[in-house]
Amino acid sequence: MQMTGIQFMDNLRAPRKSVRSTKMSQIRPLENISLSEQAMAVLLELPQLMLYSRVGHELQEWITQNSEVYSKMEEEALEATPELFIEYARAEEDEQADLRQSLDIFRSNVRLQSRGAWYDWKHQWLTGIHATAQESRQEYEADVHLAESLRKQAEADTAALEADYEALSRQLEKEEAEVAELEGCNMEYLEELKSSLADQNGVIASLEAEVSQTEGNAAHLKEHLTQIQTEMKSNLDALTKAMGLLHVSKDKLERSRRETQPQSLQKIHMCVVTSYKPALFEYEYASQYRVRIPCSDFGKPIHDKIEIAHLERIQKDEFAPLNQTFLACANDLVREDTQRDLPGVATVLQNYVAACEQLRRQFIHLVIRFPLYIVPIPSGGFVAKAVILYPVLKSRVAVEFVFDPQTFSRWPCSVRSLQFDVKVAFGKADRTAIVKAIQDVLIVKTPTDNYACLTEACMEAAALWD
């Protein structure tokens, strides 16, 4: 470095340009400077001072760091001299002058690049200062608008207060004038006023006498009202007693009516009453069932304790598996609705037995033509299985009619909702054709036209391959 005369920029000293204008030599007194000018000066100078502080701190760090680098480079140059300086030392004076000129050119180029970077940075800084000044100007204008609005509001409030003050002043003057007028009136007017007041006092006294008389009348009316209320209370007591007697008579009539219910039930077809007590009603129905109905309150059934059982003298039939199924369903059916009275329970049982008898007749007709098997279902109900043989096809088919409690307890109303299944045990019989033949028969049946409908359906299926 000593040989070439090259120096780092932190060792250079450039004259500082004065930014102080000659016009600012005259300082104005502080009281002549407005608050807005002071605020504008602070907004302009404070960012610049903050920027200078930050830039000075960064330059100080940069100088410290470059000083360390410079020291290391000096040490490295003492230990191992760069080839460029060795070449410069070995060169002739003309070549040294050329090399020095080249180094000067390099230095000038670097300085110009650094100056260009400085100008770019300063341009960015000025742009930032301009943006800050523009934002501060907008805030100042907003403050000016706000102050103007507050001033207008204050003027409006002042005008309203002045108007209120003037109104109060006029009212006060009016009242003072009235007081002065009263003070200046003559004595004759006052005497007339006193006489009018005396007349009004007399009127008030007469009115008070009328009020006293009215109060006396009110007391008399109150006594009369008390007497009327006493008579009304006695009438109500008599009415209550009469209602009690009427209720007792009604209860006796109701008890008599309930006691005559068994006589009405005796008239029902196939119903024989065997025992009737306040706590138990028992009868035999259709010579097949014994019905025990525990009762409370003279005829009100206890539904969850109703029992239906077969009579010991019931005749045996070929559909014995149906008896237990029909009996279990009958017990469940009469216990469902807890609102039924004695005639209601008897009517439900009568309808149920009629449905079971009609279904039994269907099975009697069916067993004449086809083998029939009755298979109970554990969940309730049963399956009636009819066997159809097709000698031509050497096939055996089982038609299973499924009767759940809802179906056989409402027979024949449930004929169209009857479920069935067709199972081909062996042979070449077409299951689909058999199902269609049975459906075609059952779909047209009605509660009034269902005679031997199961037999007809099986015969229609048997005639497919006759």
How far are the Cα atoms of 158, 287, 357 from residue 144, in angstroms, in the given order? 21, 113, 106
On whether the CB atoms of residues 320 and 340 are closer than 8 A, the answer is: no
Same domain, 156 and 250: no
Please give the pLDDT value at position 331. Answer: 83
Residue 241 scores a pLDDT above 90? no
Residue 76 lies in a domain: yes
Residue 197 scores a pLDDT above 70? yes
pLDDT band of 186, cuts 50, 70, 90 = low
Strand 372-376 to 307-310 pairing: unpaired
Q: According to DSSP H, which parts of 80-92 are helical?
A: 83-90
Residue 92 lies in a domain: yes
Please give the pLDDT value at position 21. Answer: 47
Give dist(CA 407, CA 359) in Å, integer: 10
Same domain, 226 and 167: no
Residue 142 lies in a domain: yes
**Total structural domains within the chain:** 3
- Other beta carbons within 10 Å of 346: 22
Peptide bond into 405 cis (omega under 30): no
Same domain, 446 and 333: yes
The residue behind tokens 């037995």 is 353
pLDDT band of 201, cuts 50, 70, 90 = confident
Same domain, 295 and 432: yes
On whether the CB atoms of residues 256 and 271 are closer than 8 A, the answer is: no
Residue 206 lies in a domain: no
Same domain, 250 and 279: no
Count Cβ neighbours within 10 Å for each residue of 206-226 and write b for 16 or more, e otherwise. Answer: eeeeeeeeeeeeeeeeeeeee
The two tokens of residue 425 are: 């045990």
Residue 455 lies in a domain: yes
Three-state DSSP class for 107? helix
Same domain, 237 and 274: no
Same domain, 334 and 390: yes
Query: What DSSP string describes 357-408?
Result: HHHHHHHHHHHHHS-EEEEE-TTS-EEEEEEEEETTTTEEEEEEEEE-HHHH
Same domain, 47 and 170: yes
Residue 50 lies in a domain: yes
pTM given for the model = 0.42
Closest CA to 380 of 331, 312, 307, 437: 331
Residue 225 lies in a domain: yes
Same domain, 372 and 285: yes
Residue 48 scores a pLDDT above 70? yes
Residue 196 lies in a domain: no
Closest CA to 349 of 303, 291, 304: 291
Question: What residues make up the domain containing 421?
Answer: 268-465
More confident residue, 133 or 436: 436
Of 192-201, 266-275, 358-367, 413-422, give the lowest mean pLDDT range: 266-275
Same domain, 86 and 149: yes
Give dist(CA 347, CA 267) in Å, integer: 12
Closest CA to 332 of 409, 245, 240: 409
Same domain, 174 and 228: no
pLDDT per residue as tens digits for the range 400-448: 999 888 888 888 888 888 889 999 999 888 999 999 999 999 889 888 8
